[in-house]
């Protein structure tokens, strides 16, 4: 696993549970994810959702094929990164600055499960690649095989609604967490962000996690 933030709020929050560690094992990452769920989410159906998650590849899957979190366990890592970014953004910027308030439960539900659409869609194949010595060798790489391609955020909402009831705000935030980058009509996205600024906040946290926390080119 790649570390949950090398400095700032991310590592400090993770270190509340693991104060002596600079990194977390895959087992500890899974424990952290579930501990946050158990601490903050009391919604009826959450245990059914977590039970379903156990039967999927959520804790092993990458977050993408070749961009952020493109390694085993990257999806769970990314979900935690977004959670820490989202919680910090809401509590430290949105609440005091814009009087936008979200419960700890809603923050956790939106952030930790925003990418459920990626569960069980990644497959591993092999390809030839030159190593450091210039010799060809077989290396694994991820491909996508989605048996239920019904969108991105909307698919996450669909999966969650099998097990628990989301509020309108949570639905909007998860469905449009990709913001303007997914290909949805810009006017529609703008209308959603205007009516549900929580959706903009989650989109911002997702981008922060992707382009700051998980960016291998940053800091320069």
Average pLDDT over residues 111-122: 97
159 pLDDT higher than 90: yes
Average pLDDT over residues 38-44: 97
At 163 the three-state DSSP class reads coil
Average pLDDT over residues 144-154: 93
Reported as a pLDDT band with limits 50, 70 and 90, residue 133 is confident
12 pLDDT higher than 80: no
Question: How much is the pLDDT for 93?
Answer: 96
Burial of 154 (0-12, 13-18, 19+ CB in 10 A): middle
User: CA–CA separation, 81 vs 77, rounded Å?
Assistant: 6
Task: Name the token pair of 35.
Answer: 């501990």
Reported as a pLDDT band with limits 50, 70 and 90, residue 174 is very high
2 pLDDT higher than 70: no
User: CA–CA separation, 142 vs 74, rounded Å?
Assistant: 12
Question: How much is the pLDDT for 51?
Answer: 98
Residue corresponding to tokens 């449009």: 176
Question: How much is the pLDDT for 15?
Answer: 66
Q: To the nearest whole number, what is the mean pLDDT of the chain? A: 89
Average pLDDT over residues 61-80: 90
Task: Name the token pair of 111.
Answer: 């952030």
**Percent of the chain whose predicted confidence (pLDDT) is above 70:** 88
End-to-end CA distance of the chain: 21
User: CA–CA separation, 120 vs 115, rounded Å?
Assistant: 11
Reported as a pLDDT band with limits 50, 70 and 90, residue 11 is low
Q: Are 41 and 166 in contact (CB under 8 A)?
A: no
Task: Name the token pair of 25.
Answer: 């094992």
φ and ψ of 143, to 5 deg: -125, 165
Residue corresponding to tokens 């979190």: 69
Q: What is the pTM of this model?
A: 0.89
5 pLDDT higher than 50: no
Average pLDDT over residues 139-160: 93
């Amino acid at each position: 696993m790649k570390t949950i933030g090398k400095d700032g709020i991310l590592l400090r929050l993770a270190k509340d549970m693991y104060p002596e560690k600079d990194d977390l094992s895959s087992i500890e990452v899974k424990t952290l994810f579930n501990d946050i769920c158990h601490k903050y989410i009391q919604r009826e159906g959450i245990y059914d959702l977590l039970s379903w998650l156990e039967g999927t590849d959520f804790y092993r899957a990458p977050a993408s094929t070749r961009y952020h979190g493109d390694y085993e366990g990257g999806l769970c890592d990314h979900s935690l990164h977004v959670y820490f970014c989202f919680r910090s953004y809401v509590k430290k910027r949105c609440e005091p600055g814009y009087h936008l308030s979200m419960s700890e439960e809603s923050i956790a539900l939106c952030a930790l499960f925003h990418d459920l659409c990626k569960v069980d869609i990644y497959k591993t194949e092999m390809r030839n690649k030159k190593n450091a010595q210039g010799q060809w060798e077989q290396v694994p790489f991820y491909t996508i095989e989605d048996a239920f391609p019904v969108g991105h955020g909307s698919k996450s909402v669909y999966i969650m609604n099998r097990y628990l009831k989301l509020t309108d705000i949570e639905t909007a935030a998860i469905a449009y967490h990709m913001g303007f980058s997914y290909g949805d009509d810009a006017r529609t996205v703008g209308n959603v962000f205007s009516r549900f600024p929580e959706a903009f906040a989650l989109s911002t946290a997702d981008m922060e996690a992707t382009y700051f926390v998980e960016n291998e080119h940053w800091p320069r």
